[in-house]
Amino acid sequence: MSERPIVEARGLVKTYHKGEAEIRPLNGLDLDVEQGEFLALMGPSGSGKSTLLHIIGGLDKPDAGICRVGEVEVSAMGEKELCDFRAANVGFVFQVYNLVPVLTARDNIELPLRLLAVSKARRRSQVTTALGMVGIADRADHLPSELSGGEEQRVAIARALVTDPQIIIADEPTGDLDEESSGQVVDILAALSAEHHKTVIMVTHDPETAERANRIMYLHKGRLLDRNPRELSVKEIFP
Amino acid sequence: MMGRLLPFLWCNVWRNRRRSVLTVLGVGVAVFVVAALGAAVEGMTFPVREVGSQELLTVREAARANVLASRLPASYEDRVAQVTGVKAATGVLSDLAVVGTDMAHIFVRGVDPDRYRQVHDIVLDPVAWHAFEADQNVALVGFRLLKRLGWRVGDEIEIEELRLRVRIVGEIPEQGVDLESHMLVRRGYLQVARAAEGQVSYVLAAPEQGYRATDLAAAIDELMELAPVRTETTSSGAFAEAVIDDFMGFIDYLRVMGAITVLITLLAAANAIAMSVRERTREIGMLKAIGFKPGLVLSLVLAESVTLSLMGGLLGVGAAAVVVGNERGSMAGLMLSTSTVLTAVAAALLVGILGGLVPARTAAKVRTIEALRGIE
């Protein structure tokens, strides 16, 4: 693709202090994500996958480096700007679905549109479209407690895409699901990329889930590698 | 923004139905107590205030404890009548005589018939009144006095001490005021007899509805501050007001009890809302992730708290209205006035706002990333 990447990260650094110890999950990390790409991020726990996802999604800020999403530089935005940015441009899918338990599936999906002050008629049509894309229209009027885990996660994906965001960020979306539901959820994410040209960035521990992505990146010592470090020779790791 | 989120707000209010119902009931009970205590206070002070406003004011010469020694220019009645809040005023020349073999004391009041009736609503046979108006050396005598002295209507009597010679033209019947043992004569006649032309002992003034006797008394004395003869005004209502003052300690006690009830409910409501916020920390994290700003999160929680407490407030006021009734006298000694109702609703609102403030701030400050990870 010759277009400008939708996500462009350069030299991202993030440092945490845990007591005396200094942890640096991101250490000069570079990343380009193309429009419509389905990218899987892998790496051991605490390797900074979620931190990277949060920076791209405008939830967290790097200590150094630049991160651009679409036309805006999220790493330079203030709290309130980031709120507006997230509402309009980012769809979040979490490991625990985080649906509002007192709202029906339909109302959960509609919530971000209410926040964006979308008219009632448009809200209705967009919710219907989103329900169709995740294949859960027949469960629309049920409360989350009446849905299976897979159904809940599909509602969460519908909520993430209902605002037609520039990027969808999924943090271990299949982590709490059985094999069958996992497959369905990844199918939906893959279809969003392949058929609807949506950009999906997903963190996962599961190699099978990751295989469905266009590209897999591995976080290793605060940087990204495009091959699993376990498959690399010692020479390649310590040149 | 809040308007579009109203359905969401309403769902949040009933998220934990049992807890919400208990919170509403708690606020309801507190508001009921506030309204009921207010009704008791109103009921307690109302009869006294009502009587007080109908009481007459007595304007006499300052520093004369004895009314009989007091002397004011008769023209003061007009000056007093002009004071805002005074319905009518009349000068009275008062005197005391000892008559008969048993040395009976009789109080004689020299009055201007017309003006006196405007101030003093006396029950009297119209024929007798007409006769009193028509002549100068005539008298109306209280029935107790007639009985005591063995006088009869039509008798011509002489009170040597006062150089009075009058014909009794009527009897003042029983009416629950001290007139029953008084003798009314024409003021002009008594003034001449007592060599007190142009003078009165005191001015009687009737307040208009809604004016407090004590306030009027102060206003009259202030007006007369620079007059040739300074005045001192008292009201028989002053006595009633003194009674209220005695009650005040008890009324204050009731008010403190009401305030404590509200305070307890405040803490309970605050705890319920705080619990509700704690339980959905992760969800609040999600809301903030998808773009809810801290201010909006704060407003939502606060609105939730206010909604609960206002429902409780309406419940409490409704219950109080049923128990007390809003018509005067529907239940002995209680009276639910508009101001009491407003106070009770304001108490509910206060509970909602103060009780919700701390949890709402907690919610607004939820750290998104930590909350999403399930770390509090």
pLDDT tens profile B303-319: 999 999 999 999 999 99
Q: Which chain A residues contact residue B373 at CB under 8 A?
A: 50
Question: Across residues A192-205, what is the average pLDDT?
Answer: 94
Taking CB atoms and an 8 Å cutoff, what residues of chain B touch A94?
286, 372
From A102, A107, A115, residue closest to B292, measured CB to CB: A115
Nearest residue in B to A163, CA atom? B290
Q: Residues of A with CB below 8 A from B281's CB? A: none
| pLDDT per residue as tens digits for the range A132-147 | 999 999 999 999 999 9
Q: Which of A51-55, A126-130, B220-224 has the lowest mean pLDDT?
A: B220-224
**Model pLDDT, residue A37:** 95
Rounded distance between C-alpha atoms, residue B336 and residue B40, angstroms: 8
Indicate the residue of B285, B288, B290 with minimum beta-carbon distance to A112: B290
Two tokens, residue B15: 């998220």
In this prediction, what percent of chain B has a pLDDT beyond 70? 85
Q: ipTM of this model?
A: 0.90
B368: distance to nearest CA of chain A, Å? 7
Q: How close does chain A come to B341, measured CA to CA in Å?
A: 34
Lowest-confidence segment of A177-181, B44-48, B139-143, B216-220 by average pLDDT: B44-48
Distance from the Cα of A56 to chain B's closest Cα (Å) equals: 12
User: What pLDDT sits at residue A232?
Assistant: 59
**What letter represents residue B124's amino acid?**
L
CA-based nearest residue in chain A for residue B285: A98
User: pLDDT, tens digit, for every residue of A76-131?
Assistant: 999 999 999 999 999 999 988 899 999 999 999 999 999 999 999 999 999 999 99
The pLDDT value recorded for residue B208 is 86
Asked if pLDDT for residue B200 goes beyond 50, the answer is yes
Average pLDDT of the residues in A38-65: 91
Band of pLDDT at residue B376, cut at 50, 70 and 90:
very low
Buried b / exposed e along A136-146 (16+ C-beta atoms within 10 A)? bbebbebebee
Question: How many percent of chain B have pLDDT more than 90?
Answer: 29
Average pLDDT of the segment spanning A232-238: 56
Residue A167 in 3-state DSSP?
strand
Does the beta carbon of B282 lie under 8 angstroms from any beta carbon of chain A? yes
Q: Does B12 touch chain A (CB under 8 A)?
A: yes
Q: How far apart are CA B309 and CA B320, in angstroms?
A: 16
d(CA A96, CA B67): 91
Mean pLDDT of B211-224: 84
CA B22 to chain centre: 37
Lowest mean pLDDT among B20-29, B56-65, B172-181: B172-181
Question: Which chain B residues in 337-376 lie under 8 Å from chain A, judged by CB atoms?
Answer: 368-369, 372-374
Crossing angle for the helix pair A105-115 and B6-13, to the nearest 10 degrees: 130
State the average pLDDT for chain A. Answer: 90
Q: Does B64 touch chain A (CB under 8 A)?
A: no
Name the phi and psi angles at B207, rounded to 5.
-75, 150
What pLDDT is stored for residue B248 in this prediction? 73
> pLDDT per residue over B242-293, tens digit each?
556 666 778 888 889 889 988 998 888 889 989 988 888 899 999 999 999 9
pLDDT band at residue A239 under the 50/70/90 scheme: low
Please report the pLDDT score of residue A152 as a whole number: 95
8 Å CB contact of A107 and B8: yes
Cβ within 8 Å, pair A101-B15? yes
Q: A92, B286: Cβ pair inside 8 Å?
A: yes
- Range in A96-105, B51-60, B96-105 the model is least confident about: B51-60
Q: What is the pLDDT of residue B218?
A: 86
For tokens 């009794």, the residue is: B168
B249 reaches A (C-beta below 8 A): no
Looking at per-residue pLDDT, the higher value among A106 and B178 belongs to: A106
Q: Give me the pLDDT at residue A122, please.
A: 95
Chain A residue with Cα closest to B293: A83
Q: Give residue B291's pLDDT.
A: 93
Chain A neighbors of B289, CB-CB under 8 A: 57, 59, 86, 92
Residue A216, strand partner residues: A40
- Chain B contact set for A80 (CB, 8 A): 293
Helix H or strand E segment including B26: helix B17-54
Best probe of the A interface among B2, B8, B299, by most A CBs < 10 A, is B8
Task: Round to whole Å and give the CA distance between A62 and B347.
Answer: 48
Q: Please answer yes or no on whether A100 and B8 come within 8 Å at the CB atom.
A: yes
Q: How far is residue B108's CA from residue B119's CA, in Å, rounded to a whole number? A: 18
Question: What is the four-CA torsion angle of A49, A52, A53, A58, rounded to 10 degrees?
Answer: 160
Q: Which of A50, A102, A159 sits opposite B11 (nearest CB)?
A: A102
Chain B hits for A86, Cβ within 8 Å: 289-291
What is residue B44's predicted lDDT score, i.e. its pLDDT? 67
Given B1, B12, B288, which is nearest A102 (Cβ)?
B12
pLDDT tens-digit map of B74-93: 889 898 888 888 889 999 99
Between chains, do A117 and B4 touch, taking CB under 8 Å as contact?
A: yes
